[in-house]
Protein backbone atom coordinates (compact mmCIF):
# COMPACT_ATOMS: atom_id res chain seq x y z
CA UNK A 1 0.00 0.00 0.00
CA UNK A 2 1.46 3.34 -0.99
CA UNK A 3 1.16 6.63 0.90
CA UNK A 4 -1.77 7.87 -1.13
CA UNK A 5 -3.75 4.70 -0.58
CA UNK A 6 -3.00 4.78 3.15
CA UNK A 7 -4.28 8.30 3.35
CA UNK A 8 -7.43 7.32 1.51
CA UNK A 9 -7.95 4.36 3.80
CA UNK A 10 -7.75 6.72 6.75
CA UNK A 11 -10.28 9.06 5.16
CA UNK A 12 -12.51 6.14 4.29
CA UNK A 13 -12.35 4.97 7.87
CA UNK A 14 -13.32 8.37 9.22
CA UNK A 15 -15.95 8.98 6.59
CA UNK A 16 -17.39 5.53 7.09
CA UNK A 17 -16.54 4.42 3.56
CA UNK A 18 -19.15 6.39 1.70
CA UNK A 19 -18.71 5.68 -1.99
CA UNK A 20 -19.65 8.18 -4.66
CA UNK A 21 -22.37 5.78 -5.75
CA UNK A 22 -23.89 5.78 -2.25
CA UNK A 23 -23.49 9.52 -2.08
CA UNK A 24 -25.39 10.13 -5.30
CA UNK A 25 -28.22 7.91 -4.04
CA UNK A 26 -28.48 9.70 -0.69
CA UNK A 27 -28.75 13.23 -2.08
CA UNK A 28 -32.53 13.54 -1.94
CA UNK A 29 -32.55 12.22 1.63
CA UNK A 30 -29.92 14.84 2.41
CA UNK A 31 -31.73 17.70 0.68
CA UNK A 32 -35.06 16.74 2.25
CA UNK A 33 -33.42 16.71 5.68
CA UNK A 34 -33.75 13.00 6.15
CA UNK A 35 -30.26 11.68 6.80
CA UNK A 36 -29.52 10.42 10.29
CA UNK A 37 -26.79 12.28 12.19
CA UNK A 38 -24.02 9.77 11.45
CA UNK A 39 -24.90 9.48 7.82
CA UNK A 40 -25.03 13.27 7.64
CA UNK A 41 -21.51 13.52 9.06
CA UNK A 42 -20.22 10.92 6.60
CA UNK A 43 -21.99 12.73 3.82
CA UNK A 44 -20.31 16.04 4.78
CA UNK A 45 -16.89 14.41 5.04
CA UNK A 46 -17.26 12.76 1.68
CA UNK A 47 -18.35 16.06 0.22
CA UNK A 48 -15.19 17.64 1.59
CA UNK A 49 -12.89 15.23 -0.24
CA UNK A 50 -14.76 14.53 -3.46
CA UNK A 51 -14.94 17.05 -6.30
CA UNK A 52 -17.17 14.81 -8.43
CA UNK A 53 -19.79 14.53 -5.70
CA UNK A 54 -19.64 18.26 -4.97
CA UNK A 55 -20.46 18.83 -8.61
CA UNK A 56 -23.18 16.21 -8.63
CA UNK A 57 -24.85 17.68 -5.54
CA UNK A 58 -24.66 21.15 -7.05
CA UNK A 59 -26.22 19.89 -10.28
CA UNK A 60 -29.06 18.22 -8.42
CA UNK A 61 -29.74 21.52 -6.66
CA UNK A 62 -29.61 23.30 -10.01
CA UNK A 63 -32.00 20.74 -11.46
CA UNK A 64 -34.46 21.39 -8.66
CA UNK A 65 -34.13 25.14 -9.14
CA UNK A 66 -34.69 24.71 -12.88
CA UNK A 67 -37.92 22.83 -12.23
CA UNK A 68 -39.01 25.55 -9.82
CA UNK A 69 -38.33 28.24 -12.44
CA UNK A 70 -40.48 26.69 -15.15
CA UNK A 71 -43.00 29.33 -16.19
CA UNK A 72 -46.61 28.50 -15.33
CA UNK A 73 -48.88 27.67 -18.23
CA UNK A 74 -52.11 29.65 -18.15
CA UNK A 75 -55.18 28.03 -19.71
CA UNK A 76 -56.14 29.04 -23.25
CA UNK A 77 -58.30 32.21 -23.41
CA UNK A 78 -61.52 30.26 -24.12
CA UNK A 79 -61.08 28.18 -20.97
CA UNK A 80 -60.18 31.25 -19.00
CA UNK A 81 -63.31 33.04 -20.19
CA UNK A 82 -65.46 30.04 -19.31
CA UNK A 83 -63.94 29.89 -15.82
CA UNK A 84 -64.51 33.58 -15.39
CA UNK A 85 -68.17 33.13 -16.30
CA UNK A 86 -68.47 30.38 -13.72
CA UNK A 87 -66.75 32.60 -11.21
CA UNK A 88 -69.28 35.38 -11.79
CA UNK A 89 -72.18 32.97 -11.45
CA UNK A 90 -70.67 31.67 -8.24
CA UNK A 91 -70.13 35.18 -6.97
CA UNK A 92 -73.82 36.00 -7.29
CA UNK A 93 -75.00 32.73 -5.79
CA UNK A 94 -72.44 32.27 -3.04
CA UNK A 95 -73.36 32.37 0.63
CA UNK A 96 -72.92 35.62 2.55
CA UNK B 1 -72.39 26.56 -20.56
CA UNK B 2 -76.02 25.61 -20.06
CA UNK B 3 -79.06 27.81 -20.34
CA UNK B 4 -79.44 28.35 -16.66
CA UNK B 5 -75.97 29.71 -16.37
CA UNK B 6 -76.45 31.87 -19.41
CA UNK B 7 -79.55 33.31 -17.81
CA UNK B 8 -77.72 33.85 -14.56
CA UNK B 9 -75.01 35.63 -16.43
CA UNK B 10 -77.29 37.90 -18.41
CA UNK B 11 -79.25 38.72 -15.28
CA UNK B 12 -76.06 39.68 -13.51
CA UNK B 13 -75.39 43.41 -13.38
CA UNK B 14 -72.47 45.14 -14.94
CA UNK B 15 -69.30 43.08 -15.38
CA UNK B 16 -68.27 42.60 -18.97
CA UNK B 17 -65.74 39.98 -20.04
CA UNK B 18 -62.39 41.52 -20.73
CA UNK B 19 -61.59 41.35 -24.43
CA UNK B 20 -57.99 40.49 -23.76
CA UNK B 21 -56.59 37.79 -21.54
CA UNK B 22 -55.43 39.39 -18.31
CA UNK B 23 -51.69 39.55 -17.86
CA UNK B 24 -50.25 36.35 -16.45
CA UNK B 25 -47.79 38.36 -14.39
CA UNK B 26 -48.79 37.93 -10.79
CA UNK B 27 -49.47 40.76 -8.42
CA UNK B 28 -47.10 39.92 -5.56
CA UNK B 29 -49.78 40.27 -2.87
CA UNK B 30 -51.34 36.93 -3.84
CA UNK B 31 -48.27 34.95 -2.86
CA UNK B 32 -49.63 35.21 0.69
CA UNK B 33 -52.26 32.48 1.14
CA UNK B 34 -54.39 34.41 3.60
CA UNK B 35 -54.69 37.48 1.41
CA UNK B 36 -55.48 35.31 -1.58
CA UNK B 37 -58.16 33.36 0.29
CA UNK B 38 -59.77 36.56 1.59
CA UNK B 39 -59.77 38.05 -1.90
CA UNK B 40 -61.37 34.90 -3.33
CA UNK B 41 -64.05 34.92 -0.66
CA UNK B 42 -64.80 38.53 -1.47
CA UNK B 43 -65.23 37.44 -5.07
CA UNK B 44 -62.32 39.39 -6.51
CA UNK B 45 -61.75 38.31 -10.09
CA UNK B 46 -58.04 39.16 -10.27
CA UNK B 47 -57.42 36.80 -7.35
CA UNK B 48 -59.25 33.96 -9.07
CA UNK B 49 -57.49 34.60 -12.37
CA UNK B 50 -54.14 34.73 -10.65
CA UNK B 51 -54.78 31.36 -9.02
CA UNK B 52 -56.01 29.83 -12.27
CA UNK B 53 -53.10 31.12 -14.32
CA UNK B 54 -50.63 30.09 -11.69
CA UNK B 55 -51.69 26.46 -11.25
CA UNK B 56 -53.70 25.41 -14.29
CA UNK B 57 -50.72 23.91 -16.13
CA UNK B 58 -49.48 21.81 -13.23
CA UNK B 59 -53.00 20.66 -12.37
CA UNK B 60 -53.46 19.56 -15.93
CA UNK B 61 -50.22 17.61 -15.88
CA UNK B 62 -51.18 15.83 -12.69
CA UNK B 63 -54.71 15.17 -13.99
CA UNK B 64 -53.23 13.44 -17.03
CA UNK B 65 -51.64 10.86 -14.74
CA UNK B 66 -55.13 9.76 -13.67
CA UNK B 67 -57.39 9.93 -16.69
CA UNK B 68 -57.20 8.50 -20.14
CA UNK B 69 -57.12 11.47 -22.48
CA UNK B 70 -56.33 15.14 -22.39
CA UNK B 71 -59.91 16.35 -22.85
CA UNK B 72 -60.93 14.33 -19.79
CA UNK B 73 -57.97 15.85 -17.93
CA UNK B 74 -59.06 19.32 -19.00
CA UNK B 75 -62.54 18.63 -17.63
CA UNK B 76 -61.14 17.36 -14.35
CA UNK B 77 -59.16 20.59 -13.94
CA UNK B 78 -62.23 22.71 -14.68
CA UNK B 79 -64.22 20.70 -12.14
CA UNK B 80 -61.38 21.34 -9.72
CA UNK B 81 -61.70 25.10 -10.13
CA UNK B 82 -65.44 24.85 -9.49
CA UNK B 83 -64.65 22.73 -6.44
CA UNK B 84 -62.31 25.48 -5.24
CA UNK B 85 -65.11 28.03 -5.51
CA UNK B 86 -67.61 25.76 -3.77
CA UNK B 87 -65.22 25.02 -0.94
CA UNK B 88 -63.33 28.26 -0.39
CA UNK B 89 -65.70 29.48 2.33
CA UNK B 90 -65.17 26.28 4.27
CA UNK B 91 -61.40 26.07 3.72
CA UNK B 92 -59.80 26.12 7.16
CA UNK B 93 -56.21 26.64 6.13
CA UNK B 94 -54.91 23.49 7.77
CA UNK B 95 -52.80 22.91 4.69
CA UNK B 96 -51.50 25.46 2.23
CA UNK B 97 -53.96 26.63 -0.40
CA UNK B 98 -52.06 24.91 -3.22
CA UNK B 99 -52.10 21.59 -1.35
CA UNK B 100 -55.83 21.98 -0.88
CA UNK B 101 -56.28 22.68 -4.61
CA UNK B 102 -54.19 19.60 -5.48
CA UNK B 103 -56.30 17.56 -3.06
CA UNK B 104 -59.49 18.62 -4.81
CA UNK B 105 -57.86 17.71 -8.11
CA UNK B 106 -56.71 14.25 -7.06
CA UNK B 107 -60.13 13.49 -5.56
CA UNK B 108 -61.94 14.57 -8.72
CA UNK B 109 -59.45 12.76 -10.91
CA UNK B 110 -59.69 9.52 -8.95
CA UNK B 111 -63.50 9.60 -9.06
CA UNK B 112 -63.30 10.24 -12.77
CA UNK B 113 -60.76 7.46 -13.26
CA UNK B 114 -63.02 5.02 -11.42
CA UNK B 115 -66.06 6.14 -13.38
CA UNK B 116 -64.22 5.54 -16.63
CA UNK B 117 -63.00 2.29 -15.08
CA UNK B 118 -59.68 2.90 -16.68
CA UNK B 119 -56.71 2.05 -14.61
CA UNK B 120 -54.15 3.55 -16.86
CA UNK B 121 -52.35 5.33 -14.07
CA UNK B 122 -50.81 2.53 -12.15
CA UNK B 123 -50.68 -0.09 -14.82
CA UNK B 124 -48.55 -3.09 -14.05
CA UNK B 125 -45.98 -1.72 -16.41
CA UNK B 126 -45.66 1.56 -14.57
CA UNK B 127 -45.70 -0.13 -11.22
CA UNK B 128 -42.82 -2.26 -12.39
CA UNK B 129 -41.01 0.83 -13.63
CA UNK B 130 -41.56 2.56 -10.31
CA UNK B 131 -40.26 -0.30 -8.29
CA UNK B 132 -37.32 -1.04 -10.48
CA UNK B 133 -34.06 -0.32 -8.75
CA UNK B 134 -32.97 2.44 -11.03
CA UNK B 135 -29.63 4.05 -10.17
CA UNK B 136 -29.43 7.86 -10.17
CA UNK B 137 -26.16 7.75 -12.09
CA UNK B 138 -25.23 5.46 -14.95
CA UNK B 139 -23.10 2.74 -13.28
CA UNK B 140 -20.60 3.10 -16.13
CA UNK B 141 -19.62 6.45 -14.67
CA UNK B 142 -18.21 4.72 -11.60
CA UNK B 143 -15.08 2.58 -11.30
CA UNK B 144 -16.05 -1.05 -11.61
CA UNK B 145 -13.22 -2.54 -9.58
CA UNK B 146 -10.13 -1.92 -7.47
CA UNK B 147 -9.54 0.41 -4.59
CA UNK B 148 -11.77 3.06 -6.18
CA UNK B 149 -14.76 0.81 -6.78
CA UNK B 150 -17.98 2.86 -6.90
CA UNK B 151 -16.10 6.15 -7.00
CA UNK B 152 -16.34 8.39 -10.03
CA UNK B 153 -14.52 7.11 -13.10
CA UNK B 154 -15.70 10.15 -15.02
CA UNK B 155 -16.58 13.14 -12.86
CA UNK B 156 -19.58 15.18 -13.96
CA UNK B 157 -18.58 18.28 -15.84
CA UNK B 158 -19.37 21.53 -14.06
CA UNK B 159 -22.43 23.61 -14.98
CA UNK B 160 -22.40 27.35 -14.78
CA UNK B 161 -24.42 29.22 -12.17
CA UNK B 162 -26.90 30.79 -14.55
CA UNK B 163 -28.04 27.34 -15.70
CA UNK B 164 -31.46 26.97 -13.97
CA UNK B 165 -33.01 30.27 -15.07
CA UNK B 166 -31.53 29.98 -18.55
CA UNK B 167 -32.78 26.43 -19.10
CA UNK B 168 -36.22 26.96 -17.61
CA UNK B 169 -36.90 30.14 -19.52
CA UNK B 170 -35.45 29.24 -22.91
CA UNK B 171 -38.09 28.03 -25.33
CA UNK B 172 -36.08 25.08 -26.60
CA UNK B 173 -34.88 23.62 -23.31
CA UNK B 174 -38.14 24.56 -21.57
CA UNK B 175 -40.09 22.45 -24.08
CA UNK B 176 -37.57 19.65 -23.68
CA UNK B 177 -38.05 19.72 -19.92
CA UNK B 178 -41.85 19.72 -20.16
CA UNK B 179 -41.57 16.77 -22.46
CA UNK B 180 -39.21 14.91 -20.14
CA UNK B 181 -41.60 15.44 -17.23
CA UNK B 182 -44.42 14.08 -19.38
CA UNK B 183 -42.36 10.94 -20.10
CA UNK B 184 -41.88 10.08 -16.42
CA UNK B 185 -43.92 7.21 -14.96
CA UNK B 186 -47.13 8.52 -13.39
CA UNK B 187 -46.16 8.41 -9.75
CA UNK B 188 -42.74 10.00 -10.33
CA UNK B 189 -44.45 12.70 -12.34
CA UNK B 190 -46.98 13.45 -9.61
CA UNK B 191 -44.30 13.72 -6.95
CA UNK B 192 -41.90 15.78 -9.06
CA UNK B 193 -44.54 18.28 -10.17
CA UNK B 194 -45.93 18.77 -6.69
CA UNK B 195 -42.60 18.89 -4.87
CA UNK B 196 -40.13 20.56 -7.25
CA UNK B 197 -42.28 22.45 -9.73
CA UNK B 198 -44.85 23.68 -7.21
CA UNK B 199 -43.03 23.33 -3.90
CA UNK B 200 -45.75 21.45 -2.02
CA UNK B 201 -44.67 20.22 1.42
CA UNK B 202 -43.43 16.61 1.21
CA UNK B 203 -45.55 15.35 4.12
CA UNK B 204 -48.63 16.80 2.47
CA UNK B 205 -47.67 15.07 -0.80
CA UNK B 206 -47.41 11.71 0.98
CA UNK B 207 -50.85 12.18 2.48
CA UNK B 208 -52.33 13.32 -0.82
CA UNK B 209 -50.92 10.48 -2.87
CA UNK B 210 -51.06 7.81 -0.19
CA UNK B 211 -47.32 7.22 -0.26
CA UNK B 212 -44.95 6.46 2.58
CA UNK B 213 -42.31 9.13 3.12
CA UNK B 214 -39.53 6.74 2.10
CA UNK B 215 -41.38 5.79 -1.05
CA UNK B 216 -42.04 9.42 -1.89
CA UNK B 217 -38.34 10.25 -1.58
CA UNK B 218 -37.31 7.33 -3.78
CA UNK B 219 -39.72 8.46 -6.50
CA UNK B 220 -38.56 12.04 -6.16
CA UNK B 221 -34.92 11.05 -6.27
CA UNK B 222 -35.28 8.99 -9.42
CA UNK B 223 -37.32 11.67 -11.12
CA UNK B 224 -34.77 14.36 -10.24
CA UNK B 225 -31.89 12.16 -11.37
CA UNK B 226 -33.58 11.56 -14.72
CA UNK B 227 -34.15 15.27 -15.25
CA UNK B 228 -30.54 16.01 -14.27
CA UNK B 229 -29.33 13.53 -16.86
CA UNK B 230 -31.53 15.14 -19.47
CA UNK B 231 -30.12 18.59 -18.67
CA UNK B 232 -26.59 17.18 -18.76
CA UNK B 233 -27.14 15.65 -22.19
CA UNK B 234 -28.75 18.85 -23.43
CA UNK B 235 -25.81 20.96 -22.31
CA UNK B 236 -23.26 18.57 -23.77
CA UNK B 237 -25.10 18.92 -27.08
CA UNK B 238 -24.94 22.69 -26.73
CA UNK B 239 -21.21 22.62 -26.10
CA UNK B 240 -20.60 20.38 -29.09
CA UNK B 241 -22.87 22.52 -31.23
CA UNK B 242 -21.16 25.80 -30.41
- Chain A: give the shortest CA distance to residue B16, in Å: 10
Residue B116, classified by CB atoms within 10 Å of its CB into exposed (0-12), middle (13-18) or buried (19+), is middle
What distance in Å separates the CA atoms of residue A28 and residue A44, rounded to the nearest whole number? 14
Helix (H, G, I), strand (E, B) or coil at B59: helix
**A19 forms bridges with which residues in the sheet?**
none
Q: Would you tell me which residues 17-76 of chain A have a C-beta closer than 8 angstroms to some C-beta of chain B?
A: 19-22, 24-25, 27-29, 32, 34, 50-53, 55-56, 58-60, 62-75
pLDDT score recorded for residue B239: 77
**Interchain CB distance below 8 Å, B151 and A86:** no
Collect all residues with Cβ–Cβ distance below 8 Å to A20 and sequence separation of at least 6.
Answer: A46, A50, A52, A53, A56, B142, B150, B151, B152
pLDDT score recorded for residue B17: 47
Q: What is the mean pLDDT of each run of 10 residues along chain B (242 residues)?
A: 44 46 56 92 95 96 90 95 96 93 95 66 54 82 89 91 86 92 94 96 94 94 96 86 64
Q: pTM higher than 0.90, yes or no? A: no
Q: Would you tell me which residues 160-179 of chain B have a C-beta closer than 8 angstroms to some C-beta of chain A?
A: 163-165, 167-169, 174, 177-178
Q: Range with the lowest mean pLDDT among A7-11, A28-32, B64-68, B145-149?
A: A7-11
pLDDT score recorded for residue A27: 95
Task: Report ipTM for this prediction.
Answer: 0.83
pLDDT score recorded for residue B9: 44
Q: Which of A3, A36, A68, A70 to mutate to test the interface with B (most CBs of B within 10 A)?
A: A70
Q: Which of B1, B58, B149 sits opposite A82 (nearest CB)?
A: B1
Q: Does B66 touch chain A (CB under 8 A)?
A: no
Question: What residues of B are in contact with residue A49 (Cβ under 8 Å)?
Answer: none
Quick one: what percent of chain A has pLDDT higher than 70? 90
The predicted-structure confidence for A44-76, as pLDDT tens digits, reads as follows: 989 998 999 999 999 999 999 999 999 998 999
What distance in Å separates the CA atoms of residue B64 and residue B96, rounded to the nearest whole number? 23
- Chain A: give the shortest CA distance to residue B116, in Å: 23
Q: Does B191 touch chain A (CB under 8 A)?
A: no
Residue A92 pLDDT greater than 80, yes or no: yes
Amino acid sequence: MNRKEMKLHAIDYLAGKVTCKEFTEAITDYLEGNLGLFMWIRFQMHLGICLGCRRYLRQMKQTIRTLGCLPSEPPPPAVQDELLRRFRTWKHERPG
Amino acid sequence: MDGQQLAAQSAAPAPVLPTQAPPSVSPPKYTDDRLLIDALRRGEEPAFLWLVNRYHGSLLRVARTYVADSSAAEEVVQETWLGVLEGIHRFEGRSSLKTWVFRILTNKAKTRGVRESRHITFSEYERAQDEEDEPAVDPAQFQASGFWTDHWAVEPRPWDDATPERLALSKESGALLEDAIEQLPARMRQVLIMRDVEGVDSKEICELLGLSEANQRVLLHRARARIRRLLETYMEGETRGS
